[in-house]
Amino acid sequence: MDVMEDASRREAAGDTVVHMEIGQPGARAPSTVVAAAQAALAEGRFGYTEARGMRPLRERIARHYRKTYGVDIPESRVMVTTGSSGAFNLAFLGAFDPGDRIALTAPGYPAYRNILRALGLEPVEIPVGPDTRWILTPELLEKAHREAPIRGVLVASPGNPTGTMMQPDALKALCETARDLGITFISDEIYHGLVYEGETASALQYWDDAIVVNSFSKYYCMTGWRIGWMILPESLVRPVERIAQSLVICPPDISQRAGLAAFDATEELEVVKAGYARNRALLLDRLPRIGFNELLPVDGAFYVYAGVRSFTNDSMDFAKRMLAEAGVATTPGADFDHERGNGYIRFSFAGSHEDMELATTRLKDWLG
């Protein structure tokens, strides 16, 4: 966010900046979503809904799981939330007690860590690397649990910042290990739909009591609508619902109506995804030729997590100079990984293809 603020100041001063720092789609919301919102506005009345969300939307989400993953989820276990961020807050509050230790991967999305700490929980960051293809393994989870009991584990597949995805066998093995150890399993599946290599699986295919979080933000191009969902075990539905009634009352009415319409936008959204795939191919071809020789597997999402140790040992300084001297905004790795992040930066390829071409040209010229 600091990089984005600096980039905005430069643009206000007349500079041109290629934005590769922001983890959000460059495309507008689907036409079906906009039309649904316009119809709702014409109706003119918005009110409270059930804390778990409108029943038609919950039913549609449940149908999505039957069709996409072959799992039968009753609508009663679906909770509509104010984006995935709202889902994580509610899940952590409902599933854990202050002081509980929650396992995360490093590198990983920094908001997990920050939310856990704000709620009085203890994040336990487990380093992952090329030896495990940058995913959490049963062995690593078991080791952390032996050192001090782990109460929960949160994994993202595809991940942020890496874009790396857990293959079905790996996800199944981790779910089974968590279940055997009595560890609550939370699966962040926000980048499902945006997968280019490998097979997509949901944790619900392997453990019915997993907590699964998803959102309309990424695949559905609806970041600012602040609407997401999670699937809860039966035992957590009522506790989490009661927390939501007090904290937020309900998700936004208009965004729920728009989210329902998003499920009818597949053809439009697949065109957007094809654009990401084209951008991904461009970066995977050009970045190594520029000198970014360490690229993590980009299975999904819209990120390339690249090593910069051939250029610097301070990715924050490198990102600042890249912005100032080349006009390309990226995200330094320090927030994603406190121990090794100074050797990495994250490129987002969610923008236009023209921007990707311009960025790589500028980087080539800058790095000589």
pLDDT tens track for 141-172? 999 999 999 999 999 999 999 999 999 999 99
Q: What is the pLDDT of residue 22?
A: 86
Q: Map out the domains of the chain as residue ranges.
A: 2-29+267-367, 31-264
Distance CA 341, CA 163 (A): 16
Distance CA 19, CA 351 (A): 8
Cα angle 332, 334, 336 (rounded to 5 degrees) comes to: 95
Q: What is the pLDDT of residues 258-290, one digit of tens each?
A: 999 999 999 999 999 999 999 999 999 999 999
Q: What is the pLDDT of residue 2?
A: 79
| CATH 3.40.640.10 fits domain 31-264 | yes
According to DSSP, the β-strands at 78-81 and 228-231 are: antiparallel
**Mean pLDDT for the chain overall:** 96
Q: What is the pLDDT of residue 222?
A: 98
Over 90: is that where the pLDDT of 1 sits? no
Query: Comparing 2-29+267-367 with 31-264, is the CATH topology the same?
Result: no
Domain range 2-29+267-367, CATH architecture: Alpha-Beta Complex (3.90)
Please provide the size of the chain in residues. Answer: 368
User: Which one, of 153, 200, 223, lies nearest residue 299 by Cα?
Assistant: 200
Q: What is the pLDDT of residues 63-91, one digit of tens each?
A: 999 999 999 999 999 999 999 999 999 99
Over 90: is that where the pLDDT of 7 sits? no
The predicted model scores a pTM of 0.95
Percentage, residues of the chain above pLDDT 90: 95
User: Which one, of 362, 299, 353, 300, lies nearest residue 330 by Cα?
Assistant: 362
User: Which one, of 114, 100, 117, 158, lies nearest residue 134 by Cα?
Assistant: 158
Distance CA 57, CA 229 (A): 10
Q: What is the pLDDT of residue 139?
A: 98
Q: What is the pLDDT of residues 336-353, one digit of tens each?
A: 999 999 999 999 999 999
